[in-house]
Structure 1
Amino acid sequence: MTPDSDSPTVPGPTLGVVGGGQLGRMLAEAAAPLGVDVVVLDPTPDCPASVAADQILGAFDDPDGVAELAARCDVLTYEIELADPDLLDTVSEREDVPVHPSPDTLRVIEDKLDQKRTFAEAGVPVPELRRVDTVADLEAAVEAFDGVMLKARRGGYDGRGNVPVPDVDDATDALDSIGGAAMAEAFVDFDRELSVIGVVGSDEVRTFPVGENVHEEEILRETVVPARTAPAVADRAEAVAHDVLDLLDGRGVYGIELFEVDGEILVNEVAPRPHNSGHWTIEGASTSQFEQHVRAVLGWPLGSTRRRSNTVSANVLGTVDSPRDARLVNVDAVLSAPGAALHWYGKHEVRPLRKMGHVTVVGDATPGDGDGQNEEEDIDSLLRRARDVRDRLDFH
């Protein structure tokens, strides 16, 4: 069969993934019940995804590794923006293997300045920003915007590559810490950060319910679904997400981070892959973001994005002061908690604040009343419960 067939069969095609971290692991876990084999390319021996997929050992931009991956697969995708779009284009054409999302989309997304300018030129709302090549550029931006968030244009994640610059006196040290091409965004005094997980299929686009992201030290700690915001704001967030998806090429799942500011929506960042803020969908939605990505890139029908219940996912971060072998303890705190699920990412080393796994807690529903309506557990209560379960975990 071909991956774009209207009638999928099982066993199905083989999916190649550039990257074998936790996202590759969960993609492979979602693909297996569909009869889809997964092969990943990753430079780390016994990478997290290797437990559920076959692994080719090699760098994300290794020409031989990407060529071998393409030769073994029917469709290519990626779970990390460090994939090389030019190499993917070359190999795709030579091996006649489609890549989704498209390398053109990766080119737009991998450079944060290009990403934001593309959105702004299309009328998608984004924070005010400037290109920064020199200390003078940064000083001018700080004065113009009364303080900025300096961002590395490439490679930053989980707060890395983001430096607040409230004063011109901080400009030199801030730019030195970035160590490369940068952009400056005006500080956004947002009410909350929201996220929309969008799915682009062969003939339809779907979105999951709007989530609310809780950060500390620029690192995502929890995602709350549904977001604690007004219905009109959630509707606006979905509309902006659809506008973003209209600008990007290729099938798959996209994580769209948004700022809510006085009822308005600004785009923060977009990832052309499954996203940390969509992990709640494994237990909390009819079809997880990972199964949706597999279906979408293969050209198969999409699943429902319906929310099953109020849901909170909480990241399990490294609580150590220095790197050591990873051994998670007090796991029984999760296993014995009602509605809780543990996801361990299989990383062999724990480091300070490294994402090692996540816990998801789904809400209870009370029996229906006379009209058949169920009352779901209050989202604030659910968030407290998820934090309590997660915080009992530790590394020894």
Structure 2
Amino acid sequence: MSVTASPVDLENVHGAHNYHPLPVMVSHGEGAWVWDDEGTRYLDFLAAYSALNFGHRHPELVRAAHEQLDRLTLTSRAFHHDLLGPFCAELAALTGKGMVLPMNSGAEAVETALKVARRWGYEVKGVLDEQATVVVMGGNFHGRTISIISFSGDPVARTHYGPYTPGFRAVEYGDAVALEAAIDETTVAVLVEPVQGEAGVVLPPDGYLADVRRICTQRRVLMVADEVQSGLGRTGATFACDLEGVVPDVYVLGKALGGGILPLSAVAADDDVLGVLDPGSHGSTFGGNPLAVAVGRAVIRLLETGDPQRRARELEAPLREGLAPLVGHGAVGLRVRGLWAGLDLDPALGTGRDLCEELLGRGVLVKDTHGSTIRISPPLTIDRADLEWGLAQVRDAVASLAAAAGS
């Protein structure tokens, strides 16, 4: 196909079809707004699944990237560079942990945490070699690598990718009794999302995370919190675990850590956990590269002010109040935590994709999951007036689908 063909045509022919994007071509972004290639403006109600917590092209983050582009972008970990130590120290302080291991994608960070947990199990806890197990939650989403999809319950992510990695046991999310029963002498870790984002912003029962912490402590098992989506301000706290006063043994971070500019993830834990690694046992050429951590340090500075977390807390009530009238009137479920919501459309009105396409026509970008659910997660920098305008579009879009279904 000629390179004069449209970008979408080129993507359809030459790009693997592992996504089904909405039919919009985004070409520019600023704050909570983006523009397509024809100049039409849209409100971003997805924020790249929380990777854009600080909005598009946040000036402090862009400035950090520009300044570092003029200095140094990559060394690999074969050499030291002058930003890695400060980044690790600052992220360690933010998490309250002693050590940090920077990587790239969220899935890569989850894989890192799993490797570290197994090695800790063998070398510290004393689990017999090749016997380590990890307890995971039903409905989880931690990425799409072979090991991660091995314990996924999503057939789309899992089908025809076997044989699967052994060593994982799944229990129902929110069931502390089932969790405790699944732990035995081989268990090295419990992997949990404090809020299950991909599943539709599924919230844990009150006290559940505290139960997970208690059980892990009593059974000498690492509590690994995947805060890739829920962390860094999204729920109104630096980490979603903070809302229950829970401190996991291991934080898994990603998405917003890179400021919406480039991939950056990390695992944070104390020395007795991450200290099991030695040179050559784990690594990444791009992990902790100068450009990424320059942006990551700017992200940490924003979070240290507390402003992003405060904004999410302040906008939680308007978000809930804007969507609550839909329950029983076109929607069958709603879950809100901070500036993050999962709305379940009545299947009689259509699919989540139908609602996303209706909203696209009204100037709002959002994404569906699991059939009839949409997730709403605008940048934490969004103006309240813009948020309320977007929520009005959601209400109107649901009403439009209801009218079409009743006609």
TM-score normalized by the length of structure 1: 0.34
- Per chain length, whose mean CA-contact separation is higher, i.e. which structure has more relative contact order (CA < 8 Å, sep 6+)? 2
Which structure: greater strand fraction? 1
Which structure: greater helix fraction? 2
